[in-house]
Amino acid sequence: MLILFGRFFIVPVFGHEANAVILRFGIFVHNNVSWAFMLALVMIFVMWVWHNIPNRLDLVWFAQAGGIIGSKHPPAKKFNAGQKLIFWSCIVFGGLISVTGLSLIFPFEIPVFAWAFGVLNATGLAELFTGAPLPATLTPHAEMQLAQVLHAGFAFLLMAIIIAHIYIGSVGMEGASGAMTHGEVDEAWAKQHHSIWLEELQAEERKSSATPAE
Protein backbone atom coordinates (compact mmCIF):
# COMPACT_ATOMS: atom_id res chain seq x y z
CA MET A 1 0.00 0.00 0.00
CA LEU A 2 2.89 2.36 0.79
CA ILE A 3 4.57 1.62 -2.54
CA LEU A 4 1.36 2.18 -4.48
CA PHE A 5 -0.04 5.22 -2.68
CA GLY A 6 2.83 6.76 -0.70
CA ARG A 7 3.78 9.17 -3.46
CA PHE A 8 0.20 10.46 -3.64
CA PHE A 9 -0.55 10.81 0.08
CA ILE A 10 2.71 10.82 2.07
CA VAL A 11 5.04 12.82 -0.20
CA PRO A 12 2.74 15.87 -0.60
CA VAL A 13 2.30 16.13 3.20
CA PHE A 14 5.59 14.92 4.70
CA GLY A 15 8.03 15.04 1.78
CA HIS A 16 10.20 12.56 -0.14
CA GLU A 17 12.64 11.91 2.71
CA ALA A 18 9.89 10.90 5.14
CA ASN A 19 8.33 8.66 2.49
CA ALA A 20 11.71 6.99 1.88
CA VAL A 21 12.21 6.35 5.62
CA ILE A 22 8.71 4.86 5.95
CA LEU A 23 9.31 2.66 2.91
CA ARG A 24 12.65 1.39 4.24
CA PHE A 25 11.05 0.58 7.59
CA GLY A 26 8.12 -1.09 5.83
CA ILE A 27 10.44 -3.27 3.73
CA PHE A 28 12.35 -4.32 6.86
CA VAL A 29 9.15 -5.31 8.70
CA HIS A 30 7.61 -6.94 5.63
CA ASN A 31 10.63 -9.08 4.79
CA ASN A 32 11.07 -10.29 8.37
CA VAL A 33 7.42 -10.91 9.23
CA SER A 34 7.10 -12.88 5.98
CA TRP A 35 8.94 -15.82 7.57
CA ALA A 36 6.28 -16.05 10.29
CA PHE A 37 3.62 -15.90 7.57
CA MET A 38 5.17 -18.83 5.70
CA LEU A 39 5.63 -20.83 8.91
CA ALA A 40 1.97 -20.22 9.79
CA LEU A 41 0.91 -21.52 6.37
CA VAL A 42 2.75 -24.77 7.00
CA MET A 43 1.25 -25.03 10.49
CA ILE A 44 -2.38 -24.50 9.46
CA PHE A 45 -1.94 -26.94 6.58
CA VAL A 46 -0.62 -29.67 8.89
CA MET A 47 -3.23 -29.01 11.60
CA TRP A 48 -6.36 -28.60 9.48
CA VAL A 49 -5.91 -30.15 6.04
CA TRP A 50 -7.75 -33.35 7.04
CA HIS A 51 -10.78 -31.29 8.07
CA ASN A 52 -10.79 -29.40 4.77
CA ILE A 53 -10.83 -32.22 2.21
CA PRO A 54 -13.89 -31.63 -0.05
CA ASN A 55 -16.79 -34.07 0.20
CA ARG A 56 -20.42 -34.40 -0.89
CA LEU A 57 -21.67 -32.31 2.02
CA ASP A 58 -19.93 -29.32 0.45
CA LEU A 59 -22.13 -29.61 -2.65
CA VAL A 60 -25.23 -29.43 -0.45
CA TRP A 61 -23.76 -26.45 1.40
CA PHE A 62 -23.09 -24.56 -1.85
CA ALA A 63 -26.50 -25.55 -3.27
CA GLN A 64 -28.14 -23.94 -0.24
CA ALA A 65 -25.67 -21.03 -0.22
CA GLY A 66 -24.69 -21.87 3.33
CA GLY A 67 -28.26 -21.68 4.61
CA ILE A 68 -29.48 -18.63 2.68
CA ILE A 69 -31.60 -20.94 0.53
CA GLY A 70 -33.91 -23.20 2.50
CA SER A 71 -35.36 -23.19 5.99
CA LYS A 72 -32.24 -24.28 7.88
CA HIS A 73 -28.47 -24.47 7.62
CA PRO A 74 -27.08 -27.44 5.69
CA PRO A 75 -25.29 -30.11 7.78
CA ALA A 76 -21.54 -29.73 8.13
CA LYS A 77 -18.62 -31.21 9.99
CA LYS A 78 -16.03 -29.10 11.83
CA PHE A 79 -15.41 -27.02 8.69
CA ASN A 80 -18.23 -26.21 6.29
CA ALA A 81 -17.70 -25.60 2.58
CA GLY A 82 -17.32 -21.84 3.04
CA GLN A 83 -14.62 -22.31 5.65
CA LYS A 84 -12.90 -24.84 3.40
CA LEU A 85 -12.91 -22.24 0.66
CA ILE A 86 -11.20 -19.79 3.00
CA PHE A 87 -8.68 -22.44 4.06
CA TRP A 88 -7.68 -23.40 0.52
CA SER A 89 -7.59 -19.73 -0.52
CA CYS A 90 -5.08 -19.11 2.27
CA ILE A 91 -3.02 -22.14 1.30
CA VAL A 92 -3.03 -21.53 -2.47
CA PHE A 93 -2.76 -17.74 -2.58
CA GLY A 94 -0.55 -17.67 0.52
CA GLY A 95 1.74 -20.20 -1.12
CA LEU A 96 1.90 -18.17 -4.34
CA ILE A 97 2.58 -15.01 -2.34
CA SER A 98 5.38 -16.83 -0.51
CA VAL A 99 6.99 -18.18 -3.68
CA THR A 100 6.87 -14.85 -5.52
CA GLY A 101 8.09 -13.11 -2.36
CA LEU A 102 11.09 -15.42 -2.11
CA SER A 103 11.82 -14.69 -5.75
CA LEU A 104 11.81 -10.96 -4.95
CA ILE A 105 14.11 -11.36 -1.96
CA PHE A 106 16.47 -13.81 -3.73
CA PRO A 107 16.17 -13.04 -7.48
CA PHE A 108 19.57 -14.53 -8.29
CA GLU A 109 19.16 -17.69 -6.21
CA ILE A 110 15.46 -18.49 -6.89
CA PRO A 111 14.56 -17.95 -10.58
CA VAL A 112 10.95 -19.06 -10.19
CA PHE A 113 9.58 -18.01 -13.57
CA ALA A 114 12.40 -19.36 -15.72
CA TRP A 115 11.82 -22.75 -14.08
CA ALA A 116 8.01 -22.51 -14.42
CA PHE A 117 8.23 -21.45 -18.07
CA GLY A 118 10.59 -24.36 -18.75
CA VAL A 119 8.07 -26.80 -17.24
CA LEU A 120 5.24 -25.31 -19.31
CA ASN A 121 7.35 -25.55 -22.46
CA ALA A 122 8.15 -29.21 -21.73
CA THR A 123 4.45 -30.05 -21.33
CA GLY A 124 3.50 -28.26 -24.56
CA LEU A 125 0.96 -26.06 -22.78
CA ALA A 126 2.87 -22.87 -23.56
CA GLU A 127 2.72 -23.38 -27.33
CA LEU A 128 -0.89 -24.51 -27.08
CA PHE A 129 -2.02 -21.21 -25.57
CA THR A 130 0.59 -18.72 -26.82
CA GLY A 131 1.69 -20.29 -30.10
CA ALA A 132 5.36 -20.14 -29.10
CA PRO A 133 7.60 -21.36 -26.28
CA LEU A 134 7.96 -19.11 -23.26
CA PRO A 135 11.44 -17.72 -22.47
CA ALA A 136 13.21 -20.28 -20.30
CA THR A 137 16.07 -17.88 -19.54
CA LEU A 138 15.26 -14.63 -17.74
CA THR A 139 17.43 -11.94 -16.20
CA PRO A 140 17.06 -11.31 -12.46
CA HIS A 141 15.39 -7.99 -13.27
CA ALA A 142 12.80 -9.71 -15.47
CA GLU A 143 12.20 -12.28 -12.72
CA MET A 144 11.64 -9.48 -10.22
CA GLN A 145 9.25 -7.62 -12.53
CA LEU A 146 7.07 -10.69 -13.00
CA ALA A 147 7.26 -11.56 -9.31
CA GLN A 148 6.32 -8.02 -8.26
CA VAL A 149 3.16 -7.95 -10.38
CA LEU A 150 1.98 -11.41 -9.31
CA HIS A 151 3.02 -10.93 -5.67
CA ALA A 152 0.88 -7.79 -5.41
CA GLY A 153 -2.00 -9.34 -7.37
CA PHE A 154 -2.18 -12.47 -5.21
CA ALA A 155 -1.84 -10.35 -2.06
CA PHE A 156 -4.79 -8.12 -3.00
CA LEU A 157 -6.92 -11.17 -3.83
CA LEU A 158 -6.16 -12.80 -0.49
CA MET A 159 -6.75 -9.52 1.37
CA ALA A 160 -10.20 -9.18 -0.22
CA ILE A 161 -11.07 -12.75 0.77
CA ILE A 162 -9.83 -12.26 4.34
CA ILE A 163 -11.70 -8.96 4.74
CA ALA A 164 -14.91 -10.72 3.69
CA HIS A 165 -14.12 -13.55 6.11
CA ILE A 166 -13.51 -11.09 8.96
CA TYR A 167 -16.91 -9.50 8.31
CA ILE A 168 -18.75 -12.84 8.25
CA GLY A 169 -16.86 -14.09 11.31
CA SER A 170 -17.66 -11.00 13.37
CA VAL A 171 -20.74 -8.84 12.73
CA GLY A 172 -21.98 -10.68 9.64
CA MET A 173 -23.07 -13.84 11.46
CA GLU A 174 -24.61 -13.86 14.92
CA GLY A 175 -22.66 -16.01 17.37
CA ALA A 176 -19.58 -16.41 15.17
CA SER A 177 -17.46 -13.87 17.04
CA GLY A 178 -17.02 -16.28 19.95
CA ALA A 179 -15.25 -18.77 17.72
CA MET A 180 -12.91 -16.00 16.57
CA THR A 181 -12.13 -14.51 20.00
CA HIS A 182 -11.96 -17.46 22.42
CA GLY A 183 -12.32 -20.53 20.20
CA GLU A 184 -15.66 -21.75 21.57
CA VAL A 185 -19.30 -21.66 20.46
CA ASP A 186 -22.46 -22.65 22.32
CA GLU A 187 -24.24 -25.92 21.59
CA ALA A 188 -27.20 -24.28 19.84
CA TRP A 189 -24.89 -22.45 17.41
CA ALA A 190 -22.91 -25.62 16.74
CA LYS A 191 -26.12 -27.56 16.07
CA GLN A 192 -27.28 -24.91 13.62
CA HIS A 193 -24.04 -24.50 11.66
CA HIS A 194 -22.02 -27.70 12.23
CA SER A 195 -24.56 -30.36 13.17
CA ILE A 196 -22.49 -33.39 12.12
CA TRP A 197 -19.47 -32.13 14.06
CA LEU A 198 -21.65 -31.67 17.17
CA GLU A 199 -23.03 -35.19 16.81
CA GLU A 200 -19.49 -36.56 16.58
CA LEU A 201 -18.46 -34.68 19.74
CA GLN A 202 -21.53 -35.90 21.61
CA ALA A 203 -20.87 -39.49 20.52
CA GLU A 204 -17.27 -39.24 21.77
CA GLU A 205 -18.49 -37.81 25.07
CA ARG A 206 -20.99 -40.63 25.56
CA LYS A 207 -18.32 -43.19 24.71
CA SER A 208 -15.82 -41.74 27.19
CA SER A 209 -18.39 -41.49 29.99
CA ALA A 210 -19.76 -45.01 29.53
CA THR A 211 -18.64 -47.52 32.15
CA PRO A 212 -17.37 -50.92 30.97
CA ALA A 213 -19.77 -53.84 31.43
CA GLU A 214 -18.89 -56.42 34.11
Check residue 212 and give its pLDDT: 60
Check residue 213 and give its pLDDT: 55
Residues 138-146: contacts with CB under 8 Å, at least 24 apart: 138/111, 138/113, 138/114, 140/107, 140/108, 140/111, 141/107, 142/113, 143/103, 143/107, 143/111, 143/112, 143/113, 143/114, 144/103, 144/104, 144/107, 146/113
Check residue 95 and give its pLDDT: 96
Check residue 93 and give its pLDDT: 97
Check residue 146 and give its pLDDT: 92
Check residue 182 and give its pLDDT: 79
Check residue 5 and give its pLDDT: 82
- Residues of the chain below pLDDT 70: 210-214
Q: Can you give the pTM of this predicted structure?
A: 0.82
